[in-house]
Amino acid sequence: MGGAADAKKAPFGSSLMSVFMHADAADVALMVLGLVGAIGDGISTPAMLLITSRIFNDLGSGPDLLQEFSSKIDENARNLVFLALGCWVMAFLEGYCWSRTAERQASRMRARYLAAVLRQDVEYFDLKVGSTAEVIASVSNDSLVVQDVLSEKVPNFVMNAAMFFGSYAVALALLWRLTLVALPSVLLLIIPGFMYGRILIGLARRIREQYTRPGAVAEQAISSVRTVYSFAAERATMAQFSAALEESTRLGIKQGLAKGIAIGSNGITFAIWAFNVWYGSRLVMYHGYQGGTVFAASASIILGGLALGSGLSNVKYFSEASAAGERVLAVIRRVPKIDSGSDTGEELANVAGEVEFKNVEFCYPSRPESPIFASFCLRVPAGRTAALVGSSGSGKSTVVALLERFYDPSGGEVALDGVDIRRLRLKWLRAQIGLVSQEPALFATSIMENILFGKEDAAPEEVTAAAKAANAHNFISQLPQGYDTQVGERGVQMSGGQKQRIAIARAILKSPKILLLDEATSALDTESERVVQEALDLASVGRTTIVVAHRLSTIRNADMIAVMQYGEVKELGSHEELIADENGLYSSLVRLQQTRESNEVDEVSGAGSTSAVGQSSPFIG
């Protein structure tokens, strides 16, 4: 994702703030309460040792003095109960407040990220590296890293820091001689916690990140399961999935070795205990200290050192979360060249629908060395139907992309009713345009909701009217659940003709002034093409329509036909006008198509087939 390099260069202190950039006033209150809870939770352990030292000393006074100290023992026992209640409250605040604010901030971050991505121009997605599944997994990992740091690592760090300072404060207060002598052992105590936190948990995170690769393989295989079945590619898919798991397996073995070393290194605490007991015994014998004090001070020293090691291991995750937060913020802060979220721009009071391309120059951002248009000119009068024909790569679909303002030309202008579309408010402009593509995009929801995508607040009667105009109402009504029928992922439950008619109904519901048909019938059989073409003819009435033609049958009745080649309009006129020129480019394309159709018929007839063979072949191959 963009901004990764900037995230690495940013100072740690400033980039760390990106983790908390999505907090509101309620989150600040939750984090303050969570900090209080984490500090209280960390201090509770040394406080318990302080009270316990007094109880041990009283119990060690012997049977003769025990009756005298019984009231103190009772008092300290009550203090332990009060401490337990206070610890419960502090631990609850720590766990609840940090988990709650982490979920709130992570949810807000994901929502802002999606809104920012939907705001980006098409160029952003053209230049993005990686598959959709990998990009989604990367974003998911970034948000999970931030959420994990907020919910666990920050409170854990604060709690361990409080435990360290509290433990050594208690140890110094109880037995400063022992504490100063044992202070160098802190370095040894840091090792177990630091190894466990930094190495072992770090490996676990790398394993989780590695699972995105086999996850992407599984996602692609399941989403295209029919293709996998049709090519009997189950074995190859499993081999690819297993190969993607090899790295995580290697890391798992490494994790097991690190876990054994980290847990085994905890044995060093017993050696430090032995030294503290030995030196503490000398303090009891020669300096008059009590055994309970020696025990509590020794325990405080060891627990404080282990807490410091565990707390320092979390610093690594603050750096990771900062980088993740910076990557997300880089997308959120990115202002695209074509900003669909901007409300600036003009709105025309009355839209006639005249479209004109004036000396347009353009090349795709991903291929700047290959210009598509050098000086492209075309005018489509309001309410007329214009067809674009030509060989692949001639720039037909680019006309649609520029009119939708997916891209801006590097030179010239695209005008709507004489106004450069770059001066118009982008959302308003796209609301005037309906697009039906060669491969219609349906969402995994009901037919009703797919059609409502064209106009979210439309009444059911409007949806039905749009479906009738798209020649889709009859087949929808025959379905068991009617308009509530689920279309499946990417419309897999619908046939090609049914998907196209649903897409046309969605465009009609939008009631656009301009209708763009980008090879809308190219992938259909003859009967489906006829039905869909009838729906398109009805939808085109009273609208400016631009048809990217794939078959002759779809453009014969167009008001004007533009024959394109190498990004230029070579011929312009009606079908009759263009076909009259036997040496023209349009006539050659028509003859080429007719020749292909004749060859296909001859091949089928020679094979003895009795099936219908009327499907039109591509206009140009």
Q: What confidence tens digit (pLDDT) does each residue in 263-272 have?
A: 777 778 888 8
Residue 198: pLDDT above 70?
no
Type of residue at 273: W
Element (H, E) at 301: helix 291-312
Q: Is residue 310 part of a domain?
A: yes
Residue 514: pLDDT above 50?
yes
* Residue span of the structural domain in which 403 resides: 355-592
- Residues 217, 328, single domain; the answer is yes
Give the mean pLDDT of the chain. 80
Q: Give all strands (DSSP E) within 508-621, no chain letters.
A: 514-518, 544-548, 560-565, 568-573
C-alpha distances in angstroms, 558 versus 119, 545, 573, 580? 35, 9, 9, 16
| CATH code (residue 517) | 3.40.50.300
- Residues 306, 439, single domain; the answer is no
Q: What is the mean pLDDT of residues 569-583?
A: 85
- Residues 179, 215, single domain; the answer is yes
- Residues 437, 585, single domain; the answer is yes
Integer Cα distance of 103 and 109 in angstroms: 10
Looking at the whole model, is its pTM more than 0.75? no
- Residues 526, 424, single domain; the answer is yes
> Above pLDDT 90, what percent of the chain?
15
pLDDT recorded at residue 616:
39
- Domains held by the chain: number: 2
Type of residue at 506: R
pLDDT recorded at residue 139:
66
Q: Is residue 162 part of a domain?
A: yes
Type of residue at 513: K
Taking residue 344's Cβ as centre, other Cβ atoms within 10 Å add up to: 8
- Strand, coil or helix: 378: strand
pLDDT greater at residue 280 or residue 619:
280
Residue 137: pLDDT above 70?
no
Confidence of residue 2 (pLDDT cuts 50, 70, 90): very low
Q: Is residue 458 part of a domain?
A: yes
Asked if 99 and 313 touch (Cβ cutoff 8 Å), the reply is: no
Instruction: Please state which of the ranges 156-170, 286-300, 468-482, 591-605 shows the lowest mean pLDDT.
Output: 591-605
Confidence of residue 63 (pLDDT cuts 50, 70, 90): low
| CATH code (residue 181) | 1.20.1560.10
Q: Is residue 339 part of a domain?
A: no
Quick one: which of 399, 387, 403, 393 has its CA closest to 571? 387
pLDDT recorded at residue 611:
39
Asked if 123 and 337 touch (Cβ cutoff 8 Å), the reply is: yes
Q: What confidence tens digit (pLDDT) does each residue in 307-334 have?
A: 888 887 777 778 778 888 888 888 888 8
- Residues 71, 115, single domain; the answer is yes
- Residues 260, 375, single domain; the answer is no
Look at strands 560-565 and 568-573 and give their pairing: antiparallel
For the chain, give the number of residues: 621
Integer Cα distance of 592 and 584 in angstroms: 12
Confidence of residue 524 (pLDDT cuts 50, 70, 90): low
Q: Which residues lie across from 572 on neighbouring strands? A: 562
Residue 33: pLDDT above 90?
yes
Q: What confidence tens digit (pLDDT) does each residue in 326-372 have?
A: 888 888 888 888 887 778 888 888 888 889 999 999 988 888 888 88
